[in-house]
Structure 1
Amino acid sequence: MRQPVVETYEQLNIWRTSYIQQVKYDHTKLNDFHDQLIKRTVKLAIERITSEWGPPPTHFAFFMMGSAARFEQAIWSDQDHGLVFESEHNQENEYFLKLGNEISSGLERVGYVKCDGFVMASNKRWCKPFSSWELQLQDWMDEESFETLRHLLTFFDSRVFIGEPRLLENLKEVIFAELKKNPALIQRFYDNVERRKKAIGIFGQLLLESYGPHSNVIHLKNTVLFPYVNSLRLLALQEKIKSPQTLARFEELPESLNEVKQLKETFQKLLQFRLRFQGNEKSYETIHLLKVHMLSPSDKEELKGYIKDGARLYKLTKRHIDKGCGMK
């Protein structure tokens, strides 16, 4: 893939608009492109802040979370990212918040919608020195509320795009250390993600929903993808697997979880399946809404298979978690 000579976010946006049409139906090529585009945008943001405020004053890591970290983006995606840096002087805090703001603005101009929950490096909650991140993670786990555990699970799906990977890796060790002391915490994680709507009725029919002006749709991400994503995240936490990518997590599971590992191919097919119906979507707001009238009878049966395997994966995950916590 040839990268353009880029000077502005607008030029990156033009590159995105033209090139993404060539890769929108290929999961690996599409996500490789997102990786390159995000990295180039962040480098441009760093260059802009450096020109005005000088170079970064200390070692840092810019990391993505969510689908970008998991290598699971569709053609449209929102922003989930953070910054961790080594020092904690006020001057450095100010510098990296400025950088976080520039990155958030730049990514938006390139084509990535800002996170409506403000999970971005422009937010102090997601832009901290290393020692403050340690305290933040520990506080989230000590509180054990739905919101704080949701923040922690969001953080755990993270990957460094620019900077020092060790900073993020060491923060994940904080989570593993707490789970070693308090293995029952994994049960709270499971409770946090297990809530989900039924997608198949008692007669084997797909249960459709309405989202705003859109009716007779299935939210593909929440209903179909997330049972796989959530299950492998929980198993990664229990097995101390640092990789955020669901496919890599399948690979790194121990052989004792072979029944789970066998579902890796199913998830790979699901990632490719969804792209078949998303290529012509014009915005992030509709990218995950699968219009059922677009599906052939065989497509519907394939979709039901993914839903059923996702439900089975949840059960297998729960069984392994219970076993790890000394429950039958």
Structure 2
Amino acid sequence: MVSRYEAIKKWRFDKMTTVLTNHTELNRLHDEVMERTVQEAIQKVEGEWGEAPAPFAFFLMGSAGRFEQSIWSDQDHGIIYDGDTKYQAYFLALGEEIRDGLVAVGYEECDGKVMSSNPLWCQSYLDWKGQISSWLEEASWQSLRHFSTFFDSRVLIGKQEYLYELKQWAFSIIRENRELYQRFVDNVDFVQKGVGVFGQLLPELRGERSGSIHLKKTVFFSYVNALRILALKEEIVNPSTISRFEEIPEHMYASIKKYEQEFRELLTYRLRSRKNAKNYKEVHHIPLNTLTKEEKQELKHFMKKGYKLFSETKNIIEKECSTWL
């Protein structure tokens, strides 16, 4: 007998061929696949544990949270429930079933365990408030990385207001500790360079991906990190990089908004260049020997624009921070 997860997986890959070249439609498909999977997991856990003991929100983070997934993606998700900490066992069981269900339909586990099966990412509303406060007060490299992961989030199923209110809580803390803006910049200031001083592409030199460019590390991070920092500063709740471009004020960030078209084109470039990737690891790596001269020039263009965008964002934050001292 075919399991429900296997049926969802088959449906996913049958539909995938129709959306391979359309970023928006592809991400809508991912949402639908994940929502069907999570609903199946909820039903399974309810059959074993009974109904959920409290209202909750299941939310996505990472590229899924930003509505920026490619044809392959791993898992980044969490749970917020409104109730006593004693309910955590139930929601961790749900998180584990969701994790296993998503694996079954084709989403790899997150290497960093950023999943609702991990107690760090499955907490009560009040514990989440404490967790966010702790991350921002500690302001270490690791704690700010965790917070940034959390901030790139949206609710897929459940109470939308829980996540919205937690982000407002975070904004209130940052508003009173404006030096955090500079800490956020410092936290993501290092980006793996993909273009050398002479304009040459710099592929990885070792390992099984030798000769390839890591798209996420050398290209995407510059755009994503820059707009996340500005979203924090302008208290923009929406997590997608495009929505952040759209919502930052024109009169303050006219020079930044000019990079939006590059980012949109980058999303299309990734789909076009990685449409034949066979797994999650492959989707982030482009072997240079598969690119035409024109495609290499296009890749360099995206990299250089991304580095310039981040540099401009960094200068904006540093200039404003200097006026607060």
Please give the TM-score of this superposition, normalised by the length of structure 2: 0.96
Structure 1 residue 111, shift from structure 2 partner:
0.4
Residue aligning to 2:150: 155
Match of 1:175 among 170, 175, 197: 170
Structure 1 residue 21, shift from structure 2 partner:
2.0
Summarize the alignment of residues 269-288 of structure 1 with structure 2, pairs less than 5 Å apart.
Answer: 269-288=265-284
Residue aligning to 1:300: 296
Classify the secondary structure of the residue corresponding to 1:237: helix
Are 1:88 and 2:63 an aligned pair? Answer: no
Match for 1:194: what amino acid? D
Classify the secondary structure of the residue corresponding to 1:243: coil
Structure 1 residue 211, shift from structure 2 partner:
5.4
**Contact persistence 2:85–2:123 (CA under 8 A):** no
Classify the secondary structure of the residue corresponding to 1:147: helix
Whole-angstrom CA distance in 2 between matches of 1:55 and 1:31: 30
Summarize the alignment of residues 72-111 of structure 1 with structure 2, pairs less than 5 Å apart.
Answer: 72-90=68-86, 92-111=87-106
Residue aligning to 1:318: 314
Structure 1 residue 327, shift from structure 2 partner:
4.6
Structure 1 residue 104, shift from structure 2 partner:
0.5
Whole-angstrom CA distance in 2 between matches of 1:197 and 1:50: 45
Residue aligning to 2:246: 251
Distance 1:89 1:295, change over 3 A: closer
Are 1:122 and 2:117 an aligned pair? Answer: yes
Classify the secondary structure of the residue corresponding to 1:39: helix
Match of 2:220 among 225, 228, 242: 225
Instruction: Write the deviation string for residues 201-255 of structure 1: whole angstroms up to 9, x where unpaired.
Output: 1221111113521211110011111100010001000110000000000000011
Q: What stretches of structure 2 of length at least 5 have no aligned partner?
A: none
Distance 1:116 1:29, change over 3 A: same
Whole-angstrom CA distance in 2 between matches of 1:324 and 1:250: 20
Structure 1 residue 166, shift from structure 2 partner:
0.5
Are 1:264 and 2:286 an aligned pair? Answer: no
Residue aligning to 2:49: 53
Whole-angstrom CA distance in 1 between matches of 2:154 and 2:104: 22
Whole-angstrom CA distance in 2 between matches of 1:161 and 1:210: 39
Please give the TM-score of this superposition, normalised by the length of structure 1: 0.95
Match for 1:266: what amino acid? E
Classify the secondary structure of the residue corresponding to 1:9: helix
Structure 1 residue 89, shift from structure 2 partner:
4.2
Report the aligned-residue RMSD.
Answer: 1.4
Are 1:37 and 2:37 an aligned pair? Answer: no
Match of 1:15 among 11, 15, 19: 11
- Identify the range of structure 1 (19-28 vs 69-78) with the bigger mean alpha-carbon deviation: 19-28
Whole-angstrom CA distance in 2 between matches of 1:74 and 1:211: 25
Residue aligning to 1:242: 237
Match of 2:207 among 212, 216, 240: 212
Residue aligning to 2:58: 62
Post-superposition, which runs of at least 4 consecutive aligned residues in structure 1 deviate over 2 A? none
Classify the secondary structure of the residue corresponding to 2:157: strand
Q: What stretches of structure 1 of length at least 5 have no aligned partner?
A: 1-5
Identity %: 47
Q: How many residue pairs are counted as aligned between the two chains? A: 322
